[in-house]
Structure 1
Amino acid sequence: MPEGHSIHRLARRHDRLLVGHRVAASSPQGRFAEGAALLDGRVLAQTHARGKHLFHRYVDPAAWLQDRDAPAGPDDRWLHVHLGLYGKWADGRGEPEPPRGALRLRLVSDAHWFDLRGPTACELLTPGERQAILDRLGPDPLDPACDPAPATRRIGRSRAPIGTLLMDQSVVAGIGNVYRAEVLLRSRVSPFLPGRDLDATTWSHLWEDLKVLMEAGVRAGRIVTTEPDHRERPAGRPRRVDATYVYGRTGLPCRICDTPVEAAELGARRVFWCPTCQPDP
């Protein structure tokens, strides 16, 4: 499943290529035909990502021409997309090819096309329904307006392992399995440590590290968490084999201490850690 950096990267790309343009919307597959008809002919005014959720705000063309900086109103239409395990956006310039296969949504502007396939969610929301989704999500490290205090409180009173809490989107939004494993290694925290036993200084460091790592992921379009000195090839663009410390490296030596990396099931997902750098609590 794409992690939060991928969704923020998509939001920024859609903002750059599509905001301010009138779109022709269709659902060749037919599963979103009614929603696409309501978007057709409108102008994309705003994109927004929170965690793994992508939102588009569409407005009437006349309203856009009258005031492009107008705040969201009750007549705006919000498109909500959650890619899930199999969803994918594709885009290109000019006229798109004839649709093939299970194409849920196609958006076409005067210069670009955007195709959405296989999402878990593709729906139109009222402002209240969108706010309900935002309200049940935890703070997003990639959203400068988000306050980490709610996550701090949830973690500080929980007996659940920190490795489970970090994957709970109601605690922190946008973290997936890779960032979970990597940020815990970089902070030398066992994934099995109860949340309430994580000291405030370490949590603060972990949160700031998440912001740095995930913003780098947005810019690069890939996850790289290793420092150059810990890679097999320190110079140049990091290779995939050098990109992570412990994720996907079961049995291989830890890049920091050479202890074999271990893996286990935690929160219905496989977690990776170094038993020396991240001692068992």
Structure 2
Amino acid sequence: MKITKILYLIVVLTIVNACATNPFTGKKTLAIVPNSQILPAAFQQYDQFLKENKVVTGTNEAELIKRVGQKISKASERWLNANGHPEYLEGYSWEYNLVKNEAVNAWCMPGGKIVFYTGIMPIAKTEAGIAAVMGHEVAHALANHGQQRMSAGQIQQLAAVGTSVAVSGKSQATQQLVGTAFGLGTQFGVMLPFSRSHETEADKIGLTLMAIAGYNPDEAANLWQRMKANSGGQAPPEFMSTHPSNDTRIANLTAWAPAAKIEAKKFGVTSFK
């Protein structure tokens, strides 16, 4: 039992000592793995992905992705400078690429490496729709969600070791039962809610960024209406998903849009695309 207590103490101390305050959320966030390790690896993986996939270049859509990305990231820089965090983006290297893939998806790696798949373009539909997606992806990078997921994974592994040690003297059946309970409990009670909270944060931050960049934040809810229609209503229950439901996102984005416009007004933006 002493070993078990020591392992759990290590977990607690790791969490306490590895928290950093994010300027966009105002929350203490997990940062066990430093960006000095994460960003070089992320940039290398991104470059490898581009080599192995069909990057679209020289088209209006490809140029639009880059143009909107630059506007959104510039909006984040304006917000950081205005709020006393001019150094926050040190080590970031923004890049925006359109990749030929029919998946309705876009993603961002730590440090600002963003990919849009061609499959999401008909759903995004307009420049403002692209800005809504771009704002969300840029927000993931700004909120260090990749770093938090890696940190949470390491804590989960430490906790699993502690649980395994705690029941090591029990019967095999008990060990299997506890192991299953731990896996399900951490997945549905910790990791999935953790992921959904990240998606919600990215939605809210992204809404503000697109407004500061001059895009109508009302269009974000319209985008998710199209996402919902495209899915045909096929989605797992929210508690089993890494993402909030379409209806939850639509309701949140609709409720947050007025505040995003008010924030944009602080930067002299009073009309929107």
Shorter-chain TM band: under 0.3
Output the TM-score relative to the length of structure 2: 0.25
In terms of fraction of residues, the more helix-rich structure is: 2
Output the TM-score relative to the length of structure 1: 0.25
